Chain A
Amino acid sequence: MSRGSSAGFDRHITIFSPEGRVYQVEYAFKAINSTNLTAVAVKGADAAVIAVQKRVPDSLIVADTVTSVYQISQSVGCCAIGMIPDAKFQIKRAQGEAASWKYKNGYDMPCELLAKKMADLNQYYTQNAEMRSLGCALLFISYDDEKGPEVYRVDPAGYYRGMKGVSVGVKQLPATSFLEKKIKKKSELTSTEAIELAIEALQTSLGIDVRSKDLEVVVVTKDNSKFTKLTSDQVEHHLNQIANRD
């Protein structure tokens, strides 16, 4: 990053540099990689999946309390990658938004509206000095009664999009190009195929054999639209399936 031209224009979230960039937001994107994790989400024909790395920083930490996936409402699941306290803060906000929306409307908040709401909030943080941007990216999945499975990505700039497959985190580039290649060949995936594609994308981008304890996989399917986390045995089964296929 050219420090010369940006002198002083990157110390404050609310200002533009002469080239028209808002540096503090770019730096918030860098903060997403601070925890050194990668997450992948895939939309199949009747299922949406998130696969994300899990790393327990120290053996004295109780491993169950380390997670990047959270349930937002009955039907919406979310993976937050980046600075952990920022991620928890956003998760709590999303849960609050979803709950108050349901209270007002009597049914679960659609995933797209939730993604849009969180993106709008993120945009607000980029423009006002009262608070910095949050160093974390969000992936939402849900099974919608009308639209079927959905995957959304939300970033600190305030941008949100529905995706067929998406990755955020350190290895997002290799993971994304892997997904592009595979989804171009075949986009109507069964739930098993979607799960295995997500895991495989993660494995390929990291360039290592992932073990089930280093992995969290959550799904929503047509048969079970409730946010469900796969057990370690189920993840192990899928890992074996992938290994046997090669």
Chain B
Amino acid sequence: SSIGTGYDLAASTFSPDGRIFQVEYAQKAVDNAGTMIAIRGKNGVVVVADKLISSKLYTDNANPRMFNVNDNVGVAVAGNYPDGFALKNYAYGEAMKWLKDYREPMPIQNIANSVAEYIHIHTLGISRPFGAGAFFMSWNKQTGGRLFLVEPSGLNYEYKAWAVGKHRQAAKAEIEKLKIEELDVNQLVKEAARIIMVVRDENKDKNVQIEMGWVGEQTNGKYEEVPSEVVTAAEEWAIAKLDEDDMDD
């Protein structure tokens, strides 16, 4: 359709109907990557990614997609890995600058806005847009859980829950079946693992691994990687639950 027309060769070029194909293609890099889900529950936020393990020789969790921006804010990057890594580094740098200037941790809204602005500048021309998106999540007593997603276009909204990547549509449909506001973090971890597993394409998605991060009341407002025992337990629960559902059918 748009390929070969010449309107899709630079982020600085509008197509005749006012679209910027380079940015849409960058979004595809996220859309075609492994599924990532983030859910805001009763007392925290949980993020789960389905990762393709391309070699058996990798050490455990060799390519993490989830990081701390500061103690209280976590970032999870989806899409092109090096681009996501660059975004995480930028967010970390901005949070450091904020801490140095104001002597207090950078609030999540400011982090998301700042990263969104940085991404947006890459959609104006000269440089290539980012082929990655980033979830930001935090929890504290005053604001409760907060979840933001910044997309390759620079779009930045706050969400109750969201899914990106290959099986995002199916994952979103599964999320909508849950009463997420009533689930605590421990239940969310299980449900999120179940959703990731249920939306997987059994024939195509092989050598995959689940990575999880959380922030909430039980982590005292600190963003942390979910301990591997908890992830394993959630996976076991999810498998049992899926088998149970299969029996019912």
Would you call B223 an interface residue if the criterion is a C-beta within 8 Å of the partner chain's C-beta atoms?
Answer: no
CB pair A1 B16 closer than 8 Å: yes
Of the A-B pairs whose beta carbons lie under 8 Å apart in the complex, a sample of 11, sorted by A's number, is A24-B14, A27-B15, A27-B16, A30-B14, A31-B18, A31-B19, A33-B18, A34-B19, A65-B158, A85-B116, A89-B120
Q: Chain B residues near A23 (CB, 8 Å)? A: 16
CB pair A84 B159 closer than 8 Å: no
Closest residue of chain A to B175 (Cβ to Cβ) is A60
| Residues 102 to 137 of chain B near chain A (Cβ within 8 Å) | 116-117, 119-121, 123-126
The verdict on A132 contacting B16 (CB below 8 Å), with A62-B158, A88-B116 known, is no
Measured as residues with beta carbon below 8 angstroms from the partner, the interface class of chain B is 35 or more
The verdict on A61 contacting B159 (CB below 8 Å), with A11-B6, A88-B116, A88-B120 known, is yes
| Residues 10 to 68 of chain B near chain A (Cβ within 8 Å) | 11-20
Interchain CA distance A127-B38 in the complex, whole Å: 43
Would you call B70 an interface residue if the criterion is a C-beta within 8 Å of the partner chain's C-beta atoms?
Answer: no
CB pair B123 A61 closer than 8 Å: no
CB pair B160 A131 closer than 8 Å: no
- Which of B75-83, B86-94, B149-157, B197-205 makes up part of the contact surface? B149-157
Q: Chain A residues near B120 (CB, 8 Å)? A: 85-86, 88-89
Q: Mostly helix, strand, loop or mixed at chain B's interface?
A: loop
Closest residue of chain B to A134 (Cβ to Cβ) is B124
Q: Chain B residues near A3 (CB, 8 Å)? A: 16
Interchain CA distance A11-B15 in the complex, whole Å: 8
CB pair B157 A34 closer than 8 Å: no
The verdict on A60 contacting B125 (CB below 8 Å), with A34-B18, A89-B120, A92-B117 known, is no
Q: Residues on B close to A: CB < 8 A?
A: 6-7, 9, 11-20, 116-117, 119-121, 123-126, 153-162, 172, 175-176
Interface centre among B11, B14, B156 (most CB of A within 10 A): B14
| Residues 15 to 56 of chain A near chain B (Cβ within 8 Å) | 23-24, 27-34
Would you call A135 an interface residue if the criterion is a C-beta within 8 Å of the partner chain's C-beta atoms?
Answer: yes
Interchain CA distance A71-B116 in the complex, whole Å: 19
